[in-house]
Amino acid sequence: MYSLGLDIGSSSIKIALVDLSGKKEAAVVRVPESEMSISSPELHWAEQDPDAWWHHSLEGIKKAIQVAGIAPNQIKSIGIAYQMHGLVLIDREGKPLRPAIIWCDSRAIESGKTIEAGLEEDIIKNSLYNLPGNFTASKLKWVMDHEPDVFAKVDKIMLPGDYITYCMSGQMTSTFTGMSEGIFFDFNQHGISREVLAALGINDVVFPKLGGSFDILASTNVSFEEWTGIPTGTPISYRAGDQPNNAFSLGVISDGEAAGTGGTSGVIYTVSNKATYDVFNRVNTFAHVNHDKDRPSYGTLLCINGTGILYNWLRNQFFNDQHYKDLEILASQVHSDGIIFLPFGNGAERMLGNKVVNAGVMGIDFNRHNKIQILRAGLEGIAFAFVYGIEILDELGVKPQKLRVGNDNLFQSAVFSQTLSDVAGIEIQVYETTGAIGAAKGAALGAGLVAEISTLNEDLKSIRSFYPRNNVFAEETYLHWKKELTNQISIQQ
């Protein structure tokens, strides 16, 4: 008996098949072989084709079944994790009306301010726990204002994971967790916010049916069985944004626990039984996967757009796409030697007040420095961005003392991870798991195939840890880095 998990990212889609008997290791595949493209037809825009996610998902499911060596009818549940904050607009035929506006698109900042102007401060602070910012609600407002002909044809508003669920089932559904990520959710009403609807000038008929992350909100249809062999009626019994799901995958579900990740963007995600509201909107509070009206569980999310995307950019531009393991060896053999790298080149940064600061490299001496030292400075710069974010969390009273991370992202780099541990003063525990495995486990729980979360995490063991060391050089470099960031922000104002 197997559970299938999908993790719909912006660079790739990961598929996992988890043997619920525990006798076999999970089969995990990644598609496509090269990273998916992000279209940017205008400055600060970022779009993807929702149907590309779907076609790659089908490809990956078939590949995972083949790698696992199982029959499709052995799959008894399906879970979906997905890139957060995307906007997918569907017409009455069930077709996307335009490319999806994804998480790193910055066009809707002013639209978010328009929504904010229509909301009372008390609603923002005590019901939404967030400003609209550049989230899904703001992206919807942008379409309403700039593409009215498109909005006039909208039947349903979806998130990326909702669309993949729809493609599998023909059923239009979403989750409370997902709506909280889009800043549509009122935590007190435990539903779509009437005040946000009023500020947008729409009614709730454009939203799909809502439920919890572990609810069976949809089941697979005949077409999906024809494509994959997975039987009609298989429950799609778990759904969550990639960061709440990453935390769940790492066993981060209780008050005081924290998870991190370093994919295209970097995230620190802390779980609490109390909501955190930041008046500067540098961090955001969403419903965690186990959130319930009577037993609230909140995820405080700090996001850094420019992390793994910088590492990939350096790899492409200077190292002819060498393997990351080779780059790690190179970076470990040198010091950055005074080079400062600001990694903020992937759109507006929430923790910097939604400013588009852009990336910057300072301190290069043409007679002294080389590309390997620039690489090292890049990894340190990403680590320093995490440290800067942790200082914000500390200011808000939710600084993590320990960070759980997966072994399938930037935390594979010891240069990056040790620098972060040293300067932030926190332990980093690395686990051999992925978001797709977490989604598969979540689906098994949602479908009632396992009774307890603890049962799912019996195989979750730390494979490596980084402990803080006395690293005066890194600490001093961080102070220079922070000074350069302050200068760059002042230039942008």
Q: What is the pLDDT of residues 14-25, one digit of tens each?
A: 999 999 988 788
Question: What is the biggest distance separating any 2 CA atoms in the chain, rounded to whole angstroms?
Answer: 66
Q: Last residue of a domain, which of 235, 250, 265?
A: 250
Question: In this predicted model, what pLDDT tens digit does every residue of 330-365 receive, in sequence order?
Answer: 999 999 999 999 999 988 898 998 888 999 999 999
The verdict on 183 and 314 lying in the same domain is no
- Please report the pLDDT score of residue 393 as a whole number: 96
**Beta-bridge mates of residue 268:** 260, 302
In angstroms, the first-to-last Cα distance of the chain is 57
Q: What is the predicted pLDDT for the residue at 26?
A: 84
CA distance 148 to 379: 43
Which token pair is 145? 């204002």
d(CA 488, CA 225): 54
Q: Which residue range is the domain that position 168 belongs to?
A: 2-250
Do 215 and 135 sit in the same domain of this protein? Answer: yes
308 & 229 share domain: no
pLDDT of residue 145: 98
pTM score over 0.85: yes
One-character DSSP codes across 159-181: -HHHHHHHHHHS--EEEHHHHHH
User: Residue 458: its pLDDT value, please?
Assistant: 76
What beta strand segments (E) does 212-312 contain? 218-219, 235-241, 258-262, 266-272, 284-287, 298-304
pLDDT at 493: 64
- Return the sign of the alpha-carbon dihedral for residues 453, 456, 459, 463: negative
242 and 311 fall within a common domain: no
Amino acid at 276: T
Q: What are phi and psi of 41, to 5 degrees?
A: -65, -20
Whether 476 maps to a domain, the answer reads: yes
pLDDT of residue 356: 87
Same domain, residue pair 356 and 231: no
Task: Look at the chain and report how many structural domains it folds into.
Answer: 2
Which residues of the chain fall short of a pLDDT of 70?
Answer: 493
Distance CA 116, CA 105 (A): 19
Helices 371-395 & 308-318, crossing angle to 10 degrees?
A: 170
Pair (314, 231) in one structural domain: no
Does a structural domain hold residue 361? yes
Residue pair 215/169 in contact (Cβ under 8 Å)? The answer is no
At 57, which CATH number? 3.30.420.40
**85 shares its domain with 234:** yes
Domain boundary among 215, 250, 285: 250
Tell me whether residue 12 is in a domain. yes
Tell me, what's the pLDDT at 23? 75
Same domain, 120 and 225: yes
